[in-house]
Amino acid sequence: MKILLAEDDPKVAEFVTSGLEENGHSVDHVSDGRDALSYCMYNDCDVAVLDRMMPGMEGLSVVKALRAAGKSVPVLMLTALGDVDSRVEGLEGGADDYLTKPFHFSELLARIVSLTRRKTETADVPELKVHDLTLDLLSRTARRQGQVIELQSKEFALLEILMRNAGRVVTRTMLLERVWNFNFEPNTTVVETHISRLRSKIDKPFEVPLIHTIRNMGYTMHGPR
């Protein structure tokens, strides 16, 4: 995957670049907002990671200019700590996702991967499937091996996101944002307890577990490999 990283802190840029390259992606790095804009106008990339505060041009202005020019490249915006509320601003400005500094690299990676996928999955599928588990999005029912599994609304939302990202890591923060709409760190075990509930319903009664914990990263769903 080809990724543009626009970040003016050389240390952060170096870490992120090497991390992404180790994960098999190619990274182009710029440290100025205007460079980021012209790069995206004349080059193709799969994801653009833009820092909100950059010399030359603010990350938000870059996204707005890109969207105005009809460029639909997925954008992940990075923002300073404590700036939870500019998240809304960023998303309204055309960014696809938002991440607060300092972040765990795994979190960044998971979000980048999830972004590229989101573009292709926008097509409304009526049903999601992982191994022998199916989730009917219209009748809102889960079935495994033909057995209907009763799910609470939050459990259903959780499972839907995990299944939509099957094979990829979904982080705890991503789940907090997407299932509960919490754009803050709630210091709770909400995610863990709900995952445990979900497991007891869709994994425990069956032989093959589908939900897997990736230590220090998050959760992923896949069938036997």
Partner 1 sequence: MDRGSVFSGGSFRATLYGTLVFILTLAVVGVLANHYIKTQLRAEIRMQVEATIADLQSIHDIDGPDALMAAVANISPLYARAHLVVALRDAAGNTLSGLVDAGPGFEGWTTRQLALPGQSDFAGLYYLTSVPVGDFELIVGQNIGIIDSMEATTLRVLLAVGAVMTLVFITIGYRMGRAMQVKLEKMADTLETVAAGDTDARLPVSAENDQIDRVSRTMNLHLSRLSDLMVSTKSSAAAIAHDLKRPLARSYLQLERAIAKAEAGADPLDDLEETRHELSRLSDIFETILRIARIEAGQAEGVMQRVDLAEMAADLGETFEVVAEESGQSLSLWIDRGQDLSVRGDAGMLSQMIVNLLQNAVSHCPKGTQITLGVGRVNRRVCLEVADNGPGIPDTERENALLHFFRADASRSSDGTGLGLALVKTIADRHGVELRLADNGPGLRVTACFPAPE
- Residues in touch with partner 1 (CB under 8 A): 81-85, 88, 100, 102, 104, 152-154, 180-190, 192-194, 196-197, 216
**Shortest CB 191 distance to partner 1, Å:** 10
* 144 DSSP assignment: E
Q: Quick one: 120 or 187, whose CB is closer to partner 1?
A: 187
Token digits of residue 111:
């979000």
Q: What is the chain's alpha carbon radius of gyration, rounded to the nearest angstrom?
A: 19
Q: Quick one: 88 or 148, whose CB is closer to partner 1?
A: 88
DSSP states of 74-116 = -EEEEE-TT-TTHHHHHHHTT-SEEEESS--HHHHHHHHHHHH
Q: Quick one: 39 or 103, whose CB is closer to partner 1?
A: 103
**Shortest CB 181 distance to partner 1, Å:** 7
**Shortest CB 185 distance to partner 1, Å:** 5
Provide CB contacts within 8 A for 21, sequence distance 6+.
Answer: 27
Instruction: Using alpha carbons, select from 69, 72, 56 the residue that is nearest to residue 6.
Output: 56
Q: Quick one: 145 or 188, whose CB is closer to partner 1?
A: 188
Instruction: Using alpha carbons, select from 111, 44, 69 the residue that is nearest to residue 61.
Output: 69
Q: Quick one: 88 or 208, whose CB is closer to partner 1?
A: 88
Token digits of residue 122:
């926008």
Give the 3-state secondary structure of residue 60: helix
**Shortest CB 155 distance to partner 1, Å:** 9
Query: Measured on CA atoms in the order 34, 37, 43, 48, is the torsion positive or negative?
Result: positive
**Shortest CB 34 distance to partner 1, Å:** 27
